[in-house]
Amino acid sequence: MKDIIDGFLKFQREAFVERSELFKQLANHQNPRALFISCSDSRLVPELVTQREPGDLFVIRNAGNIVPSFGPEPGGVSATVEYAIAVLGVEDIVICGHSDCGAMTAVATCQCLDHLPAVAHWLRYADAARHITEAGEYATERDRINAMVRENVIAQLTNIKTHPSVALALSQGKVKLHGWVYDIASGSIDALDGNTRQFVSLADNPQVTATPASPSF
C-alpha cells in the first residue's frame, strides 16, 4: 500500500501540476469520445495502451471484458453503457480482450469454479463463445485459449447490440463498434474486421472496425 500512496504523492507533486490546466477544464465537465470496455486484468491499462489523457475514455473494466445482454434487471455494465451512449454521446465503443486472460482460460479449459460461484455465474455470459470454441480443433491448449479470447470479443459485441441505446445509435450511424485483442508480450493489437469476421493487425489496418459495411453481421 505504501507504493500506491507514494505514487499518489508523486502524481500530486508532478503529473497533476503538469496537467493543471487540463484538470481545471475537466473539473465540471467530461466529453469522452469513446467507451472502452476491457478486462480488469492489471496488465491491461486502457489509457496507457491508447496513450489517452484523463477525460478521453469512458471505461468499463470487469473480469473477461463482458457485456451482459440487455434484460429486465440491468446491472452496472448496462447502466454505464446507456449513460455513455445516451448522455455522453460517445462515437466509438471498443471491447478489448487480451492474451493470457485468466477468465477466458478458465472457460476454455473447463476449470472447476465451484469455489468461485460469483465468477462462475458471471462467466456464463461467455457461453456463446465457449460453445463456438469447443467446436473447433486446436494444435495446443494455448491456441484454444487464444481462440476463446477472440470469440468472446465477438460474443460481447453481439451482446452490446441488444442494448436499446446502442441499437438506436447504430441504426442512426452515430456509433461504431470495435473488437480488439491486446497481446501483452508484444504490445500489439489485433482488431476484428466486421466485413470478413477475421482479426487483423490494427497497426496495418488502422481504419478497420467491427461495424460491417452491410447489415449481415
Q: Do residues 155 and 174 both lie within one domain?
A: yes
User: DSSP assignment of 29-81, as one string?
Assistant: ----SEEEEEE--TT--HHHHHTPPTTSEEEEEETTS--PPP-SS--HHHHHH
> How far is 4 from 98, CA to CA, in rounded Å?
25
Catalytic residue chosen out of the listed positions 13, 33, 101, 121: 101
> How far is 210 from 208, CA to CA, in rounded Å?
7
In this predicted structure, the answer to whether residue 22 has a pLDDT above a threshold of 90 is yes
Answer yes or no: 33 catalytic. Answer: no
pLDDT at 212: 85
Q: Do residues 14 and 119 both lie within one domain?
A: no
In this predicted structure, the answer to whether residue 31 has a pLDDT above a threshold of 70 is yes
In a domain, 17, yes or no: yes
Tell me the pLDDT band of 214, cut-offs 50, 70 and 90. Answer: low
Q: Which of these, 41, 43, 67, lies nearest to 159 by C-alpha position? A: 67
Using the structure block, give the residue that is written with the C-alpha cell 473494466.
61
Catalytic residue chosen out of the listed positions 13, 19, 41, 96: 41
Q: Do residues 119 and 168 both lie within one domain?
A: yes
**Ramachandran quadrant class, 109 (left: phi over 0; alpha: psi -120 to 50; beta: rest):** alpha
Answer yes or no: 183 catalytic. Answer: no
Q: Which domain holds residue 162?
A: 32-201
Answer yes or no: 98 catalytic. Answer: yes
Tell me the pLDDT band of 213, cut-offs 50, 70 and 90. Answer: confident
Answer yes or no: 96 catalytic. Answer: no
- Give 113's contacts (C-beta < 8 A, 6+ positions apart): 106, 119, 120, 123
Query: What integer best gives the mean pLDDT of the chain?
Result: 95
Q: Do residues 138 and 182 both lie within one domain?
A: yes
> How far is 125 from 88, CA to CA, in rounded Å?
26
Catalytic residue chosen out of the listed positions 39, 96, 130, 144: 39
What is the share, in percent, of the chain residues with pLDDT greater than 70? 98
pLDDT at 169: 98
Catalytic residue chosen out of the listed positions 6, 43, 121, 143: 43
pLDDT at 146: 97
In a domain, 90, yes or no: yes
In tens, the pLDDT along 130-154 reads: 999 999 999 999 999 999 999 999 9
In this predicted structure, the answer to whether residue 217 has a pLDDT above a threshold of 90 is no
Answer yes or no: 131 catalytic. Answer: no
What is the share, in percent, of the chain residues with pLDDT greater than 90? 95
In a domain, 213, yes or no: no
pLDDT at 72: 83
In the chain, the number of structural domains is: 2
Which neighbouring-strand residues pair with 59? Answer: 36
In tens, the pLDDT along 171-201 reads: 999 999 999 999 999 999 999 999 999 999 9
pLDDT at 74: 77
User: Cβ atoms within 10 A of the Cβ of 116, count?
Assistant: 14
* Cβ–Cβ under 8 Å, residues 177 and 160: yes
Instruction: Catalogue the E-assigned strands of the chain.
Output: 34-39, 57-62, 92-98, 176-182, 189-193, 198-201
